[in-house]
Amino acid sequence: MRQLLFQVAYAGTAYHGFQVQKNALSVAEVFQDAVEQVFGRREDIVGCSRTDTGVHANRYYIGCKTDHTIPAKQAVRALNFYLPQDIAVLDAAEVPLSFHPRYHAQKKRYLYRIWCSPVQNPFLLRYAYWYHHSVDLPAMQRAAEHMLGTHDFAAFCSAGCDVKDTVRRMDEITLTQDGALLTFSVTGNGFLYHMVRIMVGTLLFVSEGKIAPDEIPAILHSGNRRRAGKTAPAEGLFLDEVFYQEKGGLPYVK
């Protein structure tokens, strides 16, 4: 028995998230279909994170334990032959059987892209939130600074989140604008259900003057979801990277 770790990119528009669903198509189901074609059996796979319907991933990690002897690099080419165009295996490596793509992650980075214009960009359709207005970037940046560090992010978690510990640490938050395209980037040790999308929605409320930048600490302290902003749509969100201990490029845990 060995474990292969695959680095994967996917456009999430056609899928109901990564994890297998009973009555809806998921990235995991399609990936397992390809694995079955290549390995000759439907191997179990483990993803590094949950992603919601319509959410994309630039670098997502999938572990697969198998008795098959196919070399990792050859598996990349073989899987891509069977995968649809909106899912691609970027790289692969053999990792210890004890490695867990989710539990060994040290932190994650998400990107959220917003097209700030009264005119839609057809090339960003399904890959950025079309926000019909300009934004107050300095106000959003001041508000975002209050989200840095370790806080209880219960106010930034949608109903249905079943975790008991809602404390998370945000290591880096940036907002950069290139013309009409605004990119929100956040790196932290973990994220709650819809947390990034609520952070973005809250910053847009700040831009609109509905929330003052200095209100963010009080919102965090309250733990009240109703005090934060809206949940931004899924299409602008990308899981950009998952950080592990590294050896030779791909994640590796001794």
- Give the domain ranges of the chain: 2-104, 109-240
How does strand 2-10 pair with strand 87-95?
A: antiparallel
What DSSP state is assigned to residue 251? B
pLDDT of residue 252: 59
Q: Is 24 helix (H, G, I), strand (E, B) or coil?
A: coil
Q: Considering the candidates 52, 86, 152, 171, report the single residue annotated as catalytic.
A: 52
Does the active-site annotation cover 86? no
Domain 2-104: give its CATH code: 3.30.70.580
Q: Give the span between the Cα atoms of 182 and 112, in whole angstroms.
A: 8
What the block records as the tokens of 194 is 């819809």
Q: Give the span between the Cα atoms of 214 and 121, in whole angstroms.
A: 33
Q: What pTM does this model have?
A: 0.94
Burial 191-229 (b: 16+ CB within 10 A, else e): bbbbbbbbbbbbbbbbbeeebebebbeebbeeeebebbb
Q: Which contacts qualify for 66-70: CB closer than 8 Å, 24 or more apart?
A: 66/1, 66/2, 66/3, 66/4, 66/39, 67/1, 67/2, 68/38, 68/39, 68/40, 68/43, 70/38, 70/39
Neighbours of 123 (CB within 10 A): 8
Q: How confident is the prediction along the chain (254 residues), in pLDDT tens digits per residue?
A: 999 999 999 999 999 999 988 889 999 999 999 999 999 999 999 999 989 999 999 999 999 999 999 999 999 999 999 999 999 999 999 999 999 999 999 999 999 999 999 999 999 999 999 999 999 999 999 999 999 999 999 999 988 777 889 999 999 999 999 999 999 999 999 999 999 999 999 999 999 999 999 999 999 999 999 999 999 999 999 999 999 986 555 665 54
CATH architecture of 109-240: 2-Layer Sandwich (3.30)
Q: Please say whether the beta carbons of 182 and 176 come within 8 A.
A: yes
